[in-house]
Structures are given as C-alpha cells and as structure tokens.
Amino acid sequence: MLKYLIIQLDDTSTSFCHYNTSHDNPNLMPLDILKKAIRWSMVENLNVQFIYPEYTLPEEYNEAIEKINHTKIKPATYEHLSEGDIAVFNSIAETQGFDFTNGANYVIRTCKDELFKSFNDLRAILETSGRLSLVISDIQKFDKNDFSIYKSILERLAEVIRTEYVDKRHPIQFNLLTDRMMLISMNNCGAGDECITLAPNGRFYICPAFYYDNPEDNAGDIENGPDVKNQQLLKLDHAPICRHCDAFQCHRCVWLNRLTTLEVNTPSHEQCVVAHLERNASRQLLADIREAGEFIPDKDIPEIDYIDPFDLVKNKL
C-alpha cells in the first residue's frame, strides 16, 4: 500500500540516495502540477517528502508546500536550512566547516574512494549531530579488497559510536551501524510499493533514479494516478533472496538491482555483502555497548555464517 510520495520539485533537485542526478539545467515543476499533487496526497493520506534544488523557490511554491504536513529534503548548501529538514551533502569534502548542531538530519553521499580516504572526517560529525545517514553512490564497484577495507572502516566508526553511547550518553543515530540494532524487521526504501515519486513533468516514477535513467519509463501521471507495471515484483514477498534476509537496515535498492542484475527483485553480490558487513558490525557494536550495562535488552542480532544470502539460497538448490 502506498504510504509516501516524493515530490521532486526540479530537475536539479538534490539526490539523497545511490543515484546521481544527470540534469544541469533548472526545470521547476509547474505550480498547477504541484498543487494537484498536494491535493492528491491529502486524499490518499500520504506522507510527502519534497526534494529541493539549490535555488530559492518562488513564494507561491512555499505557500502551496506549507498546506500539507511534509518533510523537506534540501541540499546542505540551501540557504534556508532549518530544524527538521533533511540536509544532503554530495561528498564528505562538502561537509568541511559546516555546523552540525542545528537539529537537521544529515545525509552524506559519497563514493567508495572518498570514503576510504576521508572516513576519519566523519568522526566529528558523529560526535555532534543527531542523525547521520551515509549513502555510497558506487556500491556496485566494490571488489573483494574493498570489502575488507569497508569492514575495518565500520569497526573504526563503531568505536566512535560506542564512546558516544557509553561515555557521553549521546545516542547518535548512524544508519550503517545503529539502525540494525533497533530494527526487528525489514526497513527498506519501498520504492514502487510503499513509496512513489512525482517528477517535475507530472509523471510518476518508481523512484527519482528511474526518472533520470529514462523519463519515458514512467508509472502513470498525476491526472490519472499511479500505474506501476508488475508492481508485485517490487514487493519484499516477491524478492526471493531479500525476503529471507535479516540485514534489516539494507536499502534493498530496486534501481541498483536493475542496474546490476537487470532484475528489480534480485540484488547484486556487492549490495548484499556491504549490507552484511554493516549488519555484523552492528552486532559487534551492540555487544560492546552492552559490556557497559543494559542496553535495548529486547533486541538481538544473531550470529550468522554467511556474508551473502545468495550463498544460502545456492546451497539449498
């Protein structure tokens, strides 16, 4: 069932996930489409997320947006960043000199090369912010050596988080390491199933990445409502590997799936191994925090003997 609508206000709206935006020229959603989308979201009782471009919107857009409860996702460089917004950095380098104490949720998009070189810069952000989500934009390029580097980076960042929780009583949320500690079931992005995107052209897409890949690959329009073809394939219960998995924090990115395996419901080896390294690092972090005293005693992350759930399925064949 649809729960969320992402409204991409402009072609140059920031990416907040794995995909890269490929449009340089501003192309703002027409105001009448925006108003129709807001009315439709009210009727459908949807949670709305607006994705902002760099520039300041015309006042009539702000008035329309404020008519509905929503979340704003903005580039961190947006001049009117305020409490409650999700602020997105397009690299770790872009975070230099930024004040992380203003109460926003932060997303940092980075590539593996930058992460491997600059992960130490995340320490100060983890020490001061309330929530940080790190998104790696080229997971599909990880190789065996990268997996071991990533594992050791997660261990180093877990030490920072343990100190924050145990010594400073600062319960920082960090998607890669603390989300799995708190979750008891899958919490994936739900693109095309629980969540749909409306692009500036007034058409729906499974997520913004599908719009950038091919604007003709749409899933209906705001005049006639969404029409997602083969929607069952986007659901967890039709994902033969993911439905047995307990890397609950994994994005289970259906766009990445299609990019790497040509099937929206089949993940790549790289996406699964990265998510399992995070899952296992979360398990160790949970144990380390508990050494200092009781901590979320009702949650558990069991030990497993595989790093890619596809191996489990293969062994059962």
Applying CB under 6 A, which residues contact ligand SF4? 241-242, 245, 247, 250, 252, 267, 271-272, 275-276, 309
Is the CB of 46 or the CB of 139 nearer to ligand SF4? 139
Closer residue to ligand SF4 in complex, CB, 157/264: 264
Question: Which residues are within 8 A (CB) of 253 and not within 5 positions of it... i.e. 6 or more apart?
Answer: 17, 18, 189, 191, 271
Question: Residue 18 or residue 276: which is nearer to ligand SF4 going by CB?
Answer: 276
Least distance to ligand SF4, CB of residue 242, Å: 3
Minimum distance, C-beta of residue 108 to ligand SF4, in the bound complex (Å): 20
CB of 184 to ligand SF4, least distance (A): 15
Q: In whole angstroms, how close is the CB of 275 to ligand SF4 at the nearest point?
A: 4
To ligand SF4, the closest distance from the beta carbon of 285 in angstroms equals 18
Residue 161 or 242: the one with the smaller Cβ distance to ligand SF4 is 242
Q: How far apart are CA 101 and CA 80, in angstroms?
A: 15
For ligand SF4, give the closer residue by CB, 129 or 188: 188
Query: What whole-number distance in Å separates Cα of residue 303 and Cα of residue 317?
Result: 23
Q: How far is the CB of 200 from ligand SF4 (least distance, A)?
A: 30
- One DSSP character per residue, 292-305 reads TS---TT------S
What would the DSSP string read from start to end of the chain?
A: ---EEEEE-BTTPPP-SSSPP---S--BPPHHHHHHHHHHHHHHT-EEEEE--SSPPPHHHHHHHTTS-EEEEEETT-TT--TT-EEEESSSGGGTT--TTSS-EEEEEE-HHHHHHHGGGHHHHHHH-SEEEEEETTGGG--HHHHHHHHHHHHHHHHHHHHHHHTS----EETTTTHHHH-SS-----BTTTEEEE-TTSBEESSHHHHHH-TTS--EETTTEE--TTGGGGSGGG-TTGGG---TT----HHHHHHHHS-TT---HHHHHHHHHHHHHHHHHHHHHHTTS---TT------S-S-HHHHHHHH-
Kindly tell me which of 8 and 268 has the beta carbon lying closer to ligand SF4. Answer: 268
Q: Which is nearer to ligand SF4, 112 or 252 (CB)?
A: 252
- Nearest distance, CB of residue 183 and ligand SF4, angstroms: 12
User: Quick one: which of 144, 211, 133, 145 has its CA closest to 172?
Assistant: 133
Least gap, CB of 89 to ligand SF4 (angstroms): 24
Rank residues 68 and 241 by Cβ distance to ligand SF4 and give the closer one: 241
Tell me whether residue 40 or residue 147 sits nearer to ligand SF4 (CB atom).
147
Considering the complex, what minimum distance in angstroms separates the CB of residue 180 from ligand SF4? 11
For residues 120 and 153, the answer to whether their CB atoms sit within 8 Å is: no
